[in-house]
Amino acid sequence: MSTTTQAAVVESAGAPFTIGDVELDTLRPDEILVRMVAAGLCHTDLGVASGGLPFPLPGVLGHEGAGVVEEVGSGVRGLAPGDQVLLSFSSCGTCAQCRDGHPAYCDVWLPANLIGGARMDGTSPVSRGGKAIGGHFFGQSSFSRLAVVDERSAVRVDPGVDLSLLAPLGCGVQTGVGAVWNVLAPRPGSSVVVLGAGAVGLSAVMAARLAPATRIIAVDRVTERLELARELGATDVIDAGRVDDLASALTELTGGGADGVVETTGNTGVLRQGVDALRARGTAVIVGAPPFGTEVGLDVNAMLPGKRVTGLTLGDAETRTLIPALARLVADGRMPLDRLVRRYPFEEIQTAVADMVSGATVKPVLTF
């Protein structure tokens, strides 16, 4: 038996989010029904809504959900009605990557999360007027008052936590944190450069502050973002609009090159400069995603001194370990996520989109 709820639907590429009634499918054994309390808005949502990725539209997006479990499928064992959960990406749980503790690199990650718009059997849990529409986005499609969620997308958190503050942990925050902790793993005295001071970049700054890195450099073009980066732990900032050669500026500031670079902008020119600014055996982590098919040129001989460039999805996080740890750090005041978040009523989703695009808000969170 289907359930009717309200969701923000994108009708076609480039269209706005419009709120209306949709129907949710009956739960499968491995699914849960979640009443949303909050959902973060991410640039990935906007990229899909613009038509930049092959997700079927009309559809329901949202992949930083937070809410309360209302019902569980017959095969669900680790969750129960009344549990508070944060929602993140889905994975199969059985492939070699999942078994090895790297579910963000699951064999079926792309169709299960980003481009399929349906469960792995091809059915969508969301319909309208008797016709299926795109759903199952990151196993959740959380821009909806109620959502059918893949059990593997849900992480239980302590009762009483502020879900409207913690919602961004499911994507943006764990991505920035994971770039630093899981990939760069700074040693004492390391230098970390963060290119782009949005939600992901600032999360990387906060993570670096909790690591033994002694020089943390944030790069952006927006003065207010750079000031915030300083407050969150950056030891140095660079206004990219005021330097002619960013790679040279970074090399000079780090005394010969950076140990680690986190590139969050999706700009290939910025990525190239970040790689050029690495010291021998330094690592650049690609987080920002340009359109599919985008390429970047590198100086091959400059790579020979052991420089590494690696891509990253969702921080290479094992969510049921990392997300509760991040929630505790936020609760203890050691990761001041509140400095990034601005809350908007669900009905004001388009205002939140506009503020995110303009840069007025670092991390919009919709509240239900």
Phi, psi dihedrals of residue 56, rounded to the nearest 5°: -70, 125
Task: With cut-offs at 50, 70 and 90, classify the pLDDT of residue 292.
Answer: confident
Q: What confidence score (pLDDT) does residue 305 get?
A: 98
Closest CA to 192 of 306, 179, 225, 247: 179
What's the CATH class of domain 173-314? alpha beta
CA distance 200 to 264: 7
Sheet holding 131-132, edge to edge: 59-60, 3-10, 17-24, 126-128, 131-132
Task: With cut-offs at 50, 70 and 90, classify the pLDDT of residue 291.
Answer: confident
For residue 218, give the H/E element and its range. strand 215-220
3 state SS of 110:
helix
Q: Given the DSSP bridges, would you call strands 363-367 and 31-40 parallel, antiparallel or unpaired? A: antiparallel
Please compute the mean of the pLDDT values over residues 50-55 and round it to a whole number. Answer: 88
Number of Cβ atoms within 10 Å of the Cβ of 68: 16
Q: Given the DSSP bridges, would you call strands 215-220 and 236-239 parallel, antiparallel or unpaired? A: parallel
Give yes or no for a cis peptide into 291 (omega within 30° of 0): no
Number of Cβ atoms within 10 Å of the Cβ of 69: 20
In this model, does residue 343 exceed pLDDT 90?
Answer: yes
Closest CA to 155 of 75, 71, 66: 66
In this model, does residue 242 exceed pLDDT 80?
Answer: yes
Domain-wise residue ranges, the chain: 3-160+336-367, 173-314
Angle at 173 between CA 172 and CA 174, to 5 degrees: 100
Q: Taking a C-beta distance cutoff of 8 angstroms, is the pair 165, 86 a contact?
A: no
Angle at 176 between CA 173 and CA 177, to 5 degrees: 80
Q: Mean pLDDT, the chain, as a whole number?
A: 96
Please compute the mean of the pLDDT values over residues 67-93 and round it to a whole number. Answer: 97
Angle between helix axes 223-232 and 199-209 (nearest 10 degrees) is: 30
In single-letter form, the type of residue at position 179 comes to A
For residue 228, give the H/E element and its range. helix 223-232
CATH 3.90.180.10 fits 3-160+336-367, yes or no: yes
Task: With cut-offs at 50, 70 and 90, classify the pLDDT of residue 290.
Answer: confident
Please compute the mean of the pLDDT values over residues 221-229 and round it to a whole number. Answer: 96
Using the Cα atoms of residue 176, residue 181, residue 182 and residue 188 in order, give the sign of their dihedral: positive
Q: What confidence score (pLDDT) does residue 364 get?
A: 98
Please compute the mean of the pLDDT values over residues 354-363 and round it to a whole number. Answer: 95
Residue labelled with tokens 């986190």 = 262
Q: What confidence score (pLDDT) does residue 67 get?
A: 98
Residues paired with residue 9 on neighbouring β-strands, in sequence order: 18, 60
Q: What is the pLDDT of residues 273-289, one digit of tens each?
A: 999 999 999 999 999 98
Residue labelled with tokens 């073009």 = 221
Please compute the mean of the pLDDT values over residues 247-253 and round it to a whole number. Answer: 97
For residue 324, give the H/E element and its range. helix 319-331
Please compute the mean of the pLDDT values over residues 206-230 and round it to a whole number. Answer: 97
Please compute the mean of the pLDDT values over residues 232-248 and round it to a whole number. Answer: 96
In this model, does residue 112 exceed pLDDT 80?
Answer: yes
Q: Taking a C-beta distance cutoff of 8 angstroms, is the pair 138, 113 a contact?
A: yes
For the record, the structure tokens of 42 come out as: 């991410």
The DSSP line for 196-216 is: --SHHHHHHHHHHHTTT-SEE
Q: What confidence score (pLDDT) does residue 1 get?
A: 65
pTM for the model stands at: 0.96
